[in-house]
Amino acid sequence: MLIKINFLIIFLIFLIVNQHWIVESKLSSKVSLKILKKDGDAFIDTIVRSEFGSDTLTLSTSTNILYTIDIGSIKSLTTPITPSKVDSTILFNGMTEILAIGSGPLKRAVALSNNKVSLSDQESLLSATVYTPVGQGLWNFVKWFANDQKILSTSFDGNMMLNLYNVDLVNGITGQPTTYDSLMDDVSIMLWDDSNKLLILSNQDEIVSIKNIAVNVDSKSNQNLLTRYTAVLGGNNKMYICSGDSNGIYLEVLPYQSSGTFDALVSPVLIDDSVTSGRCLNAAYEPSSGLIFFTVKSNSGQLGVVYVKEQGLISKVDWLEGYQAGDVNPSSHSLMVDDQRVYIVTQNEIAVFSYSKTCPNNCSSHGTCVNLVCQCNNGYGTEDCSKATPTITSVSGIGYQSALGESVTIKGTGFYLSTNYTISIANSECTDLKLISATSISCKLQVEGSDLDPYQSYDISLIFDGLVASGVKLFKLKSPTVTKVSQGKDQLSIQGDNFYDSSKMVLKLGNEDLTSKCNFDSKLITCQLPDEISSGLVLKLTDTNSPTPNIIYSQAQAIAPFLDALSTTTFTTKPMTVTIFGKYFKSVAGATSVTVIEGGNSTVVTGGNVLSDMVIYTTLNVLNPTLQLSVKTTAGQSNSLNYTYVAPQIDKVEQLEKPSNSLNVFGSNFGSKFQLVHVTINGLACTVNSADHEIMNIALHPNAQPGNLSVEILSKFASTNINLKPKITEVKPLPDTKNSNITIIGEYLANSTIYLKRNNETSTLPCTSSELNYPNGSTICTFVNGTGRFEIYSVSDQPDTAQLQSPNFQSNYHGPIVTKVEPNIYTFGNAVIFTMSGRNFANVSMSVLVATEECLVQNITDSQIVCSLTPKIDPDSVENPVLIKITVDSIEGGDQSLLIYEKTCKKECLNQGKCSSATGLCECTDEFMGDDCSKLRPTTGDSSISDDPSSSNQLPYISYWLFISVIISVIYS
């Protein structure tokens, strides 16, 4: 009873969750789990090999035990598989490995790793007999042919050997095998087509077919360079291969003839791009539904199933939750299908899944399912009859001059992307279908527009997956349109779209037919205008659909003037006469004037200066950087012609006295717009203050030096070399008599030569100039040793210019400087010898005065003077410190900070103070005061002798405290 309830629950679950795998790409829920167990424990350990035969499933394990299970037991939904329904035998103990299993009617062959083979009846393994057949190599495939009583094996010992053994049903393997050596290496797939008696072998390099196991008929190389995992033969002479690489797993289909000849290999179709390190495991074919099944191992080891219809439709991989593929080999996961279920061998169990044999989407209720193929009702199509017959409402045209492959757009309903379509427009094919939306598609028409009649409408037909839609007289060439008419010089340009050629269009301006003078393109018509024509005539474009031509364009057309040339393209900056040659200057009826636009400035020209083909014009007195000239009438403005100005010319350059950085440049063609004049000197920009054709004034750059002066006016240049007059304004510091550097300040001293003039001799000074050259340029010079006065001047030399010299600048050497005197104090009447240290001493017309008395020089060097003096003047008449005055070569110097002339104090301060010898004043002690310290300094409270008025404030202070003391005494008494 419990078993029936469990079965009912499982069956109800199956009914609820079952979905059509063909449509949804999903297996139904697991219907049964056939656990291989005994008393709750699995009795089959890790599966090494498994193979579904016609009646039994044969399993081999890692313990070298072989099991056989009746297919009927497997298909039973009532109970799990138990040992009572399993036949088993231990083939070998030790290191023997089961390499391959070959099952067929009546017999089962098992290949072993020690070059032996086991034969047994299909019903039981207990009758197994082990043979050591003749032949070498480890077997990796074995096939049992019941009808021919033969065993076919392949070995993989380097050179693949194909061995065909005869089998006696009583005595087993007998006789020598038929051996085919070196057929191919490393066979990975072996398939047998029993109806065609065709053996198909494959490795990674090629696929080989052998007819009747006798002759090598054909081979096909692996052009796709994919790894081939497993394959199965369908019922339509096709080999379905599951292959893979690092980008995923693929389906390869190889058709073949019954003779064994291969057809072209179909290009691989991607099954799943997530399986990059997994693989396909096994394959099975279900003939009644024409379905091919592959088991797949994911990157993480999960087990999955994918199916392929013989028509080529591929499902998505259905990953089986909870099932992992073993790490043994692909043969451990055999696959079997019938018309209801999928059986997959996993570790220790057999999983059974259900699938539905029905047409895709039940033919969407718009058809009948016949042999898994929908027969759609009228008005519907596609594999599942889900698409209604499309309708056509409109189609875009193409231009008359369109090339082959022009795209057209078809509007309607029920459009979808199909690879099985035919579109015909005007009896021509339209290819490269692109789905824009359900109501719009596009395709490329395989006919040129000029092959069609622009005045005729054409039919269109569309077939999608057998669904036919048509449109009567819906297609015609696009009508010409004009978007813009423009004049370029003496040509008219008509822009638009879908223009015909000159045989089907007429263009007139007024009554004049321009068609023969025009070039017709699909988007542009260009026409040559006559030399004489009036503005405002009607421009009319028609087709030639007689007797009533279609007017495509009809409007009055203005004819603007056109410029051909100028009598000269080089203008002076002063006004000059220029003749403008061209056409249509008088195209406007009654017009007597034109406007000439020179560089953006307009000038009206009238009267006899205006002819139909020329204008006589006087240029402006103003420079303009545009450098283009055009003519304008009421009909429009002409094209522009370029012109240039005559290059400027420099005749003379004058440097002003004040300011000396200002230059007047004389010449020609400077123009009157100084903003357009650019002047540089040696590449440094100058400031242009004014310009008037023949003279301009500029201010030099502060760093300017004599050199090249360049003038540029609107890309025209002139240049000349100029010299600049130098000027010296200051020398600092004054040079010492020995080893001295000085800085000379002035204007334009850089790169000039500095001359020194003294004692009627002239020499040059080595100098280094600063970058600044005006107004306070400087140059540092190494000065010569000397004394007295001198003159310096600067001379500037520049090629191709006159030499310029500055005025002489008068200066002198620095006067003597005293830094130390010993002794530094002397007294009246006492002879003293002074040693004076310093610099700029020289025995050239030299004298030394101390105060006003001469000190007789006894010895002199450039840094020391020794002289003697007996002072005779009154010390009180001399101000301390004493002035020391030294004269060298008429240049005075000295000091008034180092020497003291001792002075006496009154009464020698009465020994009550200290006498200052520098001032002759007493510095009294604290008790005394006065000029000679003869007075006592008053004490506190003694107003009679105090000179301090503030001492009178002490009495109120004492009285206050006396009063407080009396009050306190009274209180405490």
pTM value?
Answer: 0.47
Indicate the SS3 state at residue 892.
strand
Predicted confidence band of residue 363 (pLDDT cuts 50, 70, 90): confident
DSSP labels for 476-506? -PPPPEEEEEEEETTEEEEEEE----TTSEE
* CATH class of the 389-468 domain in this structure: mainly beta
**Contact criterion met (CB below 8 Å) for 885 and 895:** no
Task: Please write the tens of the pLDDT for every residue from 782-811.
Answer: 999 999 999 999 999 999 999 999 999 999
Which range of 143-152, 260-269, 689-698, 958-967 scores highest in mean pLDDT? It is 689-698
Mean pLDDT in the chain?
84
- The bridge status of strand 248-255 relative to strand 269-272 is antiparallel
Q: Which of 49-63, 884-898, 923-937, 948-962 has the lowest mean pLDDT?
A: 948-962
Both tokens assigned to 77:
């939904």
pLDDT (tens digit per residue) in 219-237: 777 777 888 889 999 888 9
DSSP, res 610: B
Domain 817-901 - what CATH class? mainly beta
- What band does 942 get if pLDDT is binned at 50, 70 and 90? low
| 23 pLDDT more than 50 | no
Sorting pLDDT into bands at 50, 70 and 90, what band is 135? low
Tokens of 438: 């359900």
Q: Name the class of domain 727-812.
A: mainly beta
Q: What is the CATH number of domain 184-354?
A: 2.120.10.30
Q: What is the bridge-based pairing of β-strands 891-901 and 825-826?
A: parallel
CATH 2.40.70 fits 481-557, yes or no: no
Cβ-in-10-Å burial (0-12, 13-18, 19+) of 790 comes to: buried
Quick check: 411 and 398 in contact, CB under 8 A? no
pLDDT tens string 503-514: 889 999 988 899
pLDDT of residue 19: 30
In the chain, % of residues over pLDDT 90: 46
- pLDDT higher than threshold 50 for residue 917: yes
Give the separation between CA 659 and CA 704, rounded to whole angstroms: 14
Rounded Cα distance between 230 and 692, Å, is: 98
pLDDT for the residue 5 = 36
pLDDT confidence tier of residue 542, bands split at 50, 70 and 90: confident
Give the range among 28-37, 125-134, 203-212 with minimum mean pLDDT. 28-37
Task: Give the pair of three-digit tokens for residue 124.
Answer: 């039981």
What's the mean pLDDT in 149-166? 66
Contact present, 509 and 520 (Cβ < 8 Å): no
Percent of the chain past pLDDT 70, that is, above it, reads: 84
**Beta carbons of 558 and 543 less than 8 angstroms apart:** no
- Asked if 713 contacts 623 with a C-beta cutoff of 8 angstroms, the reply is yes
118-123's contacts with Cβ under 8 Å and 24+ in sequence apart are: 118/66, 118/91, 119/167, 119/172, 119/173, 120/89, 122/53, 122/55, 122/56, 122/68, 123/56, 123/87
Q: What is the DSSP code string of 369-413?
A: EETTEEEEPTTEESTTS-EEPPEEEEE----TTPPTTEEEEEEEE
Q: What distance separates the 2 farthest-apart alpha carbons in the chain?
A: 171
Q: Select the highest-mean-pLDDT range: 288-302, 465-479, 651-665.
A: 651-665
Tokens representing residue 798 in the block: 């520049």
Q: How confident is the model at residue 835 (pLDDT cuts 50, 70, 90)?
A: very high
Name the fold adopted by 649-722: Immunoglobulin-like (2.60.40)
Question: Residue 913 has what pLDDT?
Answer: 87
- pLDDT tens-digit profile of 596-628? 999 999 999 999 999 999 999 999 998 889 999
